[in-house]
Protein backbone atom coordinates (compact mmCIF):
# COMPACT_ATOMS: atom_id res chain seq x y z
CA UNK A 1 0.00 0.00 0.00
CA UNK A 2 2.90 2.34 0.71
CA UNK A 3 4.12 1.78 -2.84
CA UNK A 4 0.87 3.09 -4.32
CA UNK A 5 0.93 6.12 -2.01
CA UNK A 6 4.49 6.81 -3.09
CA UNK A 7 3.54 6.60 -6.77
CA UNK A 8 0.53 8.88 -6.21
CA UNK A 9 2.71 11.51 -4.56
CA UNK A 10 5.34 11.24 -7.30
CA UNK A 11 2.68 11.77 -9.95
CA UNK A 12 1.33 14.76 -8.01
CA UNK A 13 4.85 16.25 -7.82
CA UNK A 14 5.26 15.84 -11.58
CA UNK A 15 1.96 17.60 -12.24
CA UNK A 16 2.46 20.39 -9.70
CA UNK A 17 3.84 23.50 -11.45
CA UNK A 18 7.04 25.20 -10.33
CA UNK A 19 7.12 28.98 -10.15
CA UNK A 20 10.63 30.08 -11.05
CA UNK A 21 9.98 33.63 -9.85
CA UNK A 22 9.54 32.47 -6.24
CA UNK A 23 12.76 30.56 -5.63
CA UNK A 24 13.04 29.57 -2.00
CA UNK A 25 9.31 30.19 -1.43
CA UNK A 26 7.62 28.03 -4.07
CA UNK A 27 4.94 25.59 -2.93
CA UNK A 28 5.79 23.10 -5.69
CA UNK A 29 9.44 22.96 -4.65
CA UNK A 30 8.45 22.62 -0.98
CA UNK A 31 6.09 19.79 -1.86
CA UNK A 32 8.85 17.95 -3.72
CA UNK A 33 11.21 18.32 -0.76
CA UNK A 34 8.61 17.03 1.71
CA UNK A 35 7.77 14.01 -0.46
CA UNK A 36 11.46 13.19 -0.82
CA UNK A 37 11.94 13.53 2.93
CA UNK A 38 8.83 11.53 3.87
CA UNK A 39 9.45 8.74 1.36
CA UNK A 40 13.21 8.44 1.97
CA UNK A 41 13.15 4.71 1.24
CA UNK A 42 10.93 5.07 -1.82
CA UNK A 43 8.29 2.37 -2.19
CA UNK A 44 9.58 0.57 0.92
CA UNK A 45 8.80 3.48 3.25
CA UNK A 46 6.48 2.59 6.12
CA UNK A 47 3.85 5.25 6.78
CA UNK A 48 2.99 5.62 10.46
CA UNK A 49 -0.43 7.21 9.84
CA UNK A 50 -1.82 6.11 6.46
CA UNK A 51 -5.17 7.87 6.98
CA UNK A 52 -3.53 11.28 7.42
CA UNK A 53 -1.26 10.59 4.46
CA UNK A 54 -4.28 9.83 2.25
CA UNK A 55 -6.08 12.96 3.46
CA UNK A 56 -3.02 15.09 2.63
CA UNK A 57 -2.81 13.58 -0.82
CA UNK A 58 -6.52 14.15 -1.49
CA UNK A 59 -6.28 17.78 -0.33
CA UNK A 60 -3.21 18.49 -2.45
CA UNK A 61 -4.77 16.79 -5.47
CA UNK A 62 -7.89 18.96 -5.15
CA UNK A 63 -5.75 22.11 -4.97
CA UNK A 64 -3.69 21.02 -7.98
CA UNK A 65 -6.77 20.25 -10.07
CA UNK A 66 -8.37 23.64 -9.26
CA UNK A 67 -11.34 21.86 -7.69
CA UNK A 68 -12.36 24.85 -5.58
CA UNK A 69 -11.80 27.31 -8.40
CA UNK A 70 -14.43 25.53 -10.47
CA UNK A 71 -16.71 24.79 -7.52
CA UNK A 72 -16.78 28.46 -6.47
CA UNK A 73 -16.25 30.49 -9.67
CA UNK A 74 -15.39 34.16 -9.39
CA UNK A 75 -17.16 36.89 -11.28
CA UNK A 76 -13.91 38.73 -12.08
CA UNK A 77 -10.22 37.87 -12.04
CA UNK A 78 -9.35 40.76 -9.73
CA UNK A 79 -9.65 41.29 -6.01
CA UNK A 80 -11.27 44.20 -4.18
CA UNK A 81 -8.10 46.19 -4.87
CA UNK A 82 -8.61 45.76 -8.64
CA UNK A 83 -5.15 44.21 -8.90
CA UNK A 84 -4.93 41.60 -11.65
CA UNK A 85 -3.44 38.14 -11.29
CA UNK A 86 -0.40 39.09 -13.35
CA UNK A 87 0.26 42.16 -11.20
CA UNK A 88 0.05 40.00 -8.06
CA UNK A 89 2.55 37.54 -9.54
CA UNK A 90 4.91 40.37 -10.36
CA UNK A 91 4.71 41.82 -6.84
CA UNK A 92 5.15 38.42 -5.16
CA UNK A 93 8.21 37.49 -7.21
CA UNK A 94 11.35 37.06 -5.10
CA UNK A 95 13.21 39.82 -6.98
CA UNK A 96 10.41 42.29 -6.29
CA UNK A 97 10.31 41.30 -2.63
CA UNK A 98 14.06 41.93 -2.32
CA UNK A 99 13.69 45.33 -3.97
CA UNK A 100 10.92 46.25 -1.53
CA UNK A 101 13.06 45.16 1.43
CA UNK A 102 15.90 47.29 0.11
CA UNK A 103 13.56 50.27 -0.27
CA UNK A 104 12.34 49.85 3.32
CA UNK A 105 15.83 50.32 4.72
CA UNK A 106 16.42 53.72 6.18
CA UNK A 107 19.19 56.06 5.15
CA UNK A 108 21.23 55.27 8.26
CA UNK A 109 21.21 51.51 7.56
CA UNK A 110 22.16 52.07 3.93
CA UNK A 111 25.09 54.27 4.96
CA UNK A 112 26.20 51.79 7.63
CA UNK A 113 26.17 48.95 5.11
CA UNK A 114 28.00 51.01 2.53
CA UNK A 115 30.83 52.07 4.83
CA UNK A 116 30.93 48.93 6.95
CA UNK A 117 33.98 46.67 6.70
CA UNK A 118 31.91 43.48 6.89
CA UNK A 119 29.12 42.44 4.57
CA UNK A 120 25.63 42.09 6.09
CA UNK A 121 25.83 38.28 5.83
CA UNK A 122 29.07 38.21 7.86
CA UNK A 123 27.60 40.41 10.59
CA UNK A 124 24.69 38.02 11.09
CA UNK A 125 27.03 35.07 11.65
Q: Which residue has the higher pLDDT, 115 or 68?
A: 68
pTM, two decimals, is 0.62
Q: Which residue has the higher pLDDT, 47 or 125?
A: 47
Q: What is the pLDDT of residues 19-64, one digit of tens each?
A: 777 777 788 989 999 999 988 888 777 888 889 989 999 999 999 9
Residue 45's pLDDT is 79
Which long-range contacts (C-beta less than 8 Å, at least 24 apart) are formed by 92-96?
92/21, 92/22, 93/21, 93/22, 94/21, 94/22, 94/23, 94/24, 94/25, 95/21
Amino acid sequence: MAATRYRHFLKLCEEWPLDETKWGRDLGAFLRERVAHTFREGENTQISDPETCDQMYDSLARINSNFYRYKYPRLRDTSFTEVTVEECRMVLATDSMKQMEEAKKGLWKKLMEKFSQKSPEERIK
